[in-house]
Structure 1
Amino acid sequence: MKKLTLVFWVALGILLFFVVVGVFTPQTFENVTAELRGMISTSLGWYYLLVVTGFVGICAFIVVSPYGKIKLGKPDSKPDYNYLTWFAMLFSAGMGIGLVFWGAAEPISHYMVDAPIADSGSSDAILEAMRYSFFHWGIHAWGIYAVVAMSLAYFKFRHDAPGLISGTLTPVLGKYAKGPAGHTVDIIAVIATVVGVSSTLGFGAVQINGGIDFLFGVGNNFTIQFIIIAIVTVLFMISAYTGLNRGIKILSNVNLVLAATLFAFLFIFGPTLFNLNLFTETFGMYVQQLPSMSFRIAPFDEDERAWIDGWTIFYWAWWISWSPFVGSFIARVSKGRTLREFVLGVLLVPSIVGFFWFAVFGGSGIFLEQNGTAAISELAAEAALFGVLDNFPMGTVMSFIAITLIVTFFITSADSGTFILGMQTTNGSLTPPKTVKLIWGLMLSTTASILLYTGGLQGLENAMIIAALPFSVIMILMTYSLIKSLQIEKTALRAQDSKKRS
């Protein structure tokens, strides 16, 4: 435990304080977080839209600028992984519990329950449902991840900085990056990571419960969800403690196989032509209307504004709070790539995979609803996937596969989360002590349980929006620091070239 830093103790203390408050005064905790969430969404919705769109703009600038030729590593560095393996890792990072949870539920909700603009249940609502699902899970989400991952990888592999968020801010903070200012940055990053990962684990527990309830009618409540979290916690903590990296790699491959199996099943046995036509139409609309969707805040329509707060702002906050974790993972596997190929790979490949996922699962749900075959919209969000699968051949078998997929995602996400948190709280160590990983594993599961106990899915959403706000400011500083460092490096390289020519 000698490697522990001040960041570990302060972050753990803050998180334990909120856990205690949630246990002993759950109603107060729920009310306060709901009020904070409402205040942030109402007053700072414009800020989230501008900041996230700005991150996408920075990524586009990197692609077309001369900086795109600079490597994430030394000039002679080679990528550790070929393109296929790298793309598979990017897919694994983004194809998590969230995509399984919302793949059918979000488009159905936008179509039948709460359409963004059009009348619910209309043909226009179908097009809007898919277009906004693409918007929420497309290049804006991956632009957030790309900014964090690019900054971490650039400073780590090219300038030998520690793998910490504060390590990316030396051009801005100078010597203070290793002092109190840097510690504050890392504490905020740790808290955002815990909230982001634990919230996602909470979604996973709710959906596992939803699937079991759909199949066996066991009930859907906090007690069952707590038992699910406890069981999966034991599994991923055994992995974290024993360091079964091989096992985690196997589980990651199992994730890909199970996800591909589900996708192929529904693509073949579902309404294939309908889904392909829907994808083609709505993907074109997404590309055409991306600028207007990026800045849509609806200042004169309270209903539309409430929809934006509940969906778009929620997603932007989710991706920001999840970005220290996903960004660290992507950074670790991207050494040797140029900035240009890194940005294009991170933004485009996972986004396109996600678009097809929504087109197949969301499209199939919409098809069933539109034709009166099944009322998927009447199911809870966590049961929507199972309701869709139930209407096609081998639906029960596919539901079991879906539950298994969620469980394996739960285990791998939690295990990876303990490693990232261990690294962030031991000064960037690539071999954090097992005890530290166990502590963070318990904290992730405890936080997920408390958030579900105090507010259910709404509690998870509230926590993510609150935690994302301070880290979004850090992301702005990271972006500025990266551009500043790239400018300095480009100037130095030009000076070297001039000396060689003379």
Structure 2
Amino acid sequence: MSTESRGAAALTARGGGADRVVTTASAGSLLIFVAGAIVAPDIVGAWVTVGFTKSAQWFGLYWQVLMLATFAVALLLAVTPWARARLGDVEPEFGRFKWVAMIMCTLLAGGGVFWAAAEPMYHFLNAPPRFEGVEAGSAEAVHVALAQSFVHWGFLAWAILGSLAAIVMMYAAERGMPLRPRTLLYPILGSRVVTSPIGTVADVVCIVAVVAGTVGPIGFLGLQVSYGLSSLFGIPDVYGVQLAVIAVLTAVAAVSVVSGVNRGIQLLSRVNVWLALALMTAVLVLGSAWYVVKAFVGGFGVYVTDFVGMSLYSGDSTWTSGWTVFFFGWFLGYAPLMAIFIARISRGRTVRDLIISTSVLPPVATCLWFSVLGGTGIMLEQQNPGEISGPLEGAGLPAAVMAIASGLPLSLLVSTGFLLLTILFVATTTDSMSYAIAQSCTTKDHADSRLRAVWAVLMGAAAAVLISIGDGGITALQSFIVVTAVPVGFILLPSLVAAPVMVRRLAVEQGITGWRTPHPSTINPTTSTRATREAEEGAKA
């Protein structure tokens, strides 16, 4: 029997259902954190601050190099003949629009609205240290502000979330390995990763990281939408309203994740994308499309020409820890479970299709979105200094979105649209990550719908409890993802080498050995990979 077959047999032998050790350790860690934040918020906050500072100081540059290397390897892999290899022996389950919509909406979450409005303004008012000679408020500052935002939300973020790790996950899954974070260690441990204690630790660490990164946005969403409702309709900005927002979000996410990927998750993602496109069009029409186009071209030009330097900048450790390293640590924490989700929805896609549709096109679309929302905010600030910066400095992220919408015609309609979009973005992330977390906690091919719903409700409840003690608990939990990113960064490391090797093997199995396209019969996704694998297993047996 081959090692792959033994791994599959071991997985089955463990029985169908929840992995009690992983589930208990993951949920228990969240509950302990929440309890600690309630009983001793100052102590917990201090511990997280120390952990955050040390993690950024000791591992920040490693994360920057890892993410840059991941993007470089993925891009090089995409242009090789091997990239025509197909991942999985089935036809793609989802059409391109549905597929890309689920990928984009899962990553952007609330950052797709609030950070898109606020971050460019922060950099516009205070130029990043790498561009300390740039005069604040100048035309050059506009391009620098957008370029710095692109560094944090662009190619590197998308590549670490959707390229090499997803390839490793899909390749191993076709050989009997489970869709769980531990499978990222398959290149090192082989089928032993299924039962290894190291695999259990990897699962728990990765789940805790993504739970921290998801509960944070849920909690902030309650605070931000409550602020927006207060500024728009005069509804009191109190805990009851914040709790109601979180309850609605959790209910939407739970219903979506219970209905599954084929129904609720993909439907919610499509609604998200169409609403985002409608709002982007509205902002361009009501604002200045020409200004946004110039800002995007200028910002993207700075981003591309200084791509490596900005990605690896570490000259000002304090600034880098608060911006680049924070975002990179956040995305690293999401990466293993994003790989699970992408592997689940991407079977039948070619390697090239996967890389381009996760690491090239979505980042460009993200940069354009940041230019539309953040660029419009900068334009309004230039026309009337203090119009956007004043509310941003006084009330934080949600104030920037409301201020931008207020500066445009039809402000009430646009503001309401952004609040709805933010709720849907976070709901899409919550349901997708609840699905991936539940999958990581089960020994079956597909997680039970009740387990998915439990995780959605658990994260919503944790967020509701944490905001009851103020935003300090949510901030501490969101910062904690940077601490958990330390081990996750090493779990992702094998993918740098393993993904190209696996793609090369798939190309050979499917008859793709050169630049010329092979005869279709040699790359039939329903025969070639499966037949080759069965022949190999038969010979080894």
How many positions carry a matched residue from both structures? 489
Q: TM-score, normalised on structure 2?
A: 0.83
Residue among 295, 317, 330 paired with 1:318: 330
User: Residue 165 of structure 2 contacts residue 184 of structure 2 at CA under 8 Å; is this kept in 1?
Assistant: no
User: What's the offset of the Cα at 1:248?
Assistant: 4.3
Between stretches 423-432 and 226-235, larger displacement belongs to 226-235
Letter in 2 for 1:387: A
Q: Which among 291, 294, 302 is matched to residue 277 of structure 1?
A: 294
**Equivalent residue, structure 2, for 1:86:** 99
Partner of 2:224: 207
Equivalent residue for 1:477? 494
Q: Distance in 1 between matches of 2:265 and 2:186?
A: 34
- 2:110 and 2:221 in contact (8 A); partners too: yes
Structure 2 residue 271 is the aligned partner of structure 1 residue 254? yes
1:372-391 deviation digits (Å, cap 9, x = unpaired):
16521122212211110111
Asked if the contact 1:207/1:382 (under 8 Å) is kept, the reply is: yes
| Correspondence for 2:72 | 57
**Deviation digits for residues 301-345 of structure 1, max 9, x if unmatched?**
xxx332221111111011112223332222222222221221122
Change (3 A) 1:110 1:456: farther
| Contact 1:130–1:282 (Cα < 8 Å) also in 2 | yes
Q: Among the aligned pairs, what percent are the same residue?
A: 27
Match of residue 340 from structure 2: 328
What is the match of residue 121 of structure 2? Answer: 108
- 1:149 maps to 2:162: no
2:92–2:346 CA contact under 8 A, matched in 1:
yes
Q: 1:416 to 1:395 in 2, by over 3 A?
A: same
The whole-number CA distance in structure 2 between the counterparts of 1:11 and 1:457 is 18
- Alpha-carbon separation, structure 2, partners of 1:338 and 1:456: 43
Distance in 2, Cα, partners of 1:4 & 1:444? 18
Q: Secondary structure at the match of 2:306?
A: helix
What is the Cα deviation at residue 397 of structure 1?
1.0
**Alignment equivalent of 1:421, drawn from 434, 437, 440:** 437
Give the equivalent residue in structure 2 for 1:38: 53
CA contact (8 A) 1:185 1:474 kept: yes
The separation in 2 between residues aligned to 1:133 and 1:122, in whole angstroms, is 17
Aligned 1:191-202 pairs, distance under 5 A:
191-202=208-219
Q: Matched residues in 2 for 1:490 and 1:176: separation?
A: 26
Q: Distance in 2 between matches of 1:404 and 1:78?
A: 35
Amino acid at match of 2:42: Q
**How large is the RMSD of aligned CA atoms in angstroms?**
2.8
Q: What does the per-residue CA deviation read over 1:108-141, in whole Å, with 9 as the maximum and x for residues that have no partner?
A: 1111146443343333322210111111111101
Take 2:513 and 2:285, find their aligned partners in 1: how far apart are those partners?
Answer: 58
Match of 2:363 in 1: 351
Counterpart contact for 2:153–2:363, Cα < 8 Å: yes
Contact kept? 2:104, 2:362, Cα under 8 Å: yes
Moved more, 305-314 or 145-154: 145-154
In structure 1, distance between residues paired with 2:482 and 2:402? 28
CA distance in 2, matches of 1:223, 1:464: 27
C-alpha contact (below 8 Å) 1:202/1:460 kept by paired residues: no
Deviation readout 1:204-253 (Å, 9 max, x if unpaired): 22321231132134455666434422343244334545769644443332
Unaligned stretches of 5+ residues in structure 1:
299-303
Rounded to whole Å, the distance in 1 between the matches of 2:475 and 2:31 is: 21
CA contact (8 A) 1:451 1:459 kept: no
The worse-fitting range, judged by mean Cα deviation, of 232-241 and 4-13 is 232-241
Q: What's the counterpart of residue 123 of structure 1? A: 139
Tell me, in whole angstroms, the C-alpha distance in 2 between the residues paired with 1:84 and 1:267. 23
CA displacement at 1:101 relative to structure 2: 1.4
Q: 2:453 aligns with which of 426, 438, 441?
A: 438
Q: 1:121 to 1:459 in 2, by over 3 A?
A: farther
5+ residue gaps, structure 2: 1-14, 515-521, 523-541
Matched with 2:483 is: 466
Q: Is the 8 A contact 2:206 2:488 kept in 1?
A: yes
Q: 1:293 to 1:451 in 2, by over 3 A?
A: farther
Look up the match of 2:383: 371
2:378 paired with 1:362: no
CA contact 2:258–2:449 (8 Å) conserved in 1: no
Match of 1:139 among 155, 159, 169: 155
CA distance 1:293–1:342, shift in 2 (3 Å)? same
Alignment partner, residue 530 of structure 2? none
The correspondence of residues 4-83 of structure 1 with structure 2, limited to 5 A, is 4-5=18-19, 6-74=21-89, 77-83=90-96
SS at 1:159's partner residue? coil
- Provide the C-alpha distance between the structure 1 equivalents of 2:259 and 2:356, rounded to a whole number of angstroms: 36
1:389 paired residue number: 405
Distance in 2 between residues matched to 1:240 and 1:343, nearest whole Å: 26
AA aligned opposite 2:318: A
Deviations 1:61-100 (A, max 9, x none): 31233432322113xx433334344333333334432111
Contact 1:168–1:482 (8 Å) recurs in 2: no
1:419 maps to a residue whose letter is Y
Residues 155 and 167 in structure 1, CA contact (< 8 A), matched pair in contact too: yes
In the alignment, residue 360 of structure 1 is paired with which amino acid? V
1:486 Cα deviation (Å)? Answer: 4.3
Within 5 Å, which residues of 2 pair with 1:143-292? 143-145=159-161, 146-156=163-173, 158-178=174-194, 179-218=196-235, 220=237, 224-240=241-257, 246-292=263-309
Amino acid of the structure 2 residue aligned with 1:167? T
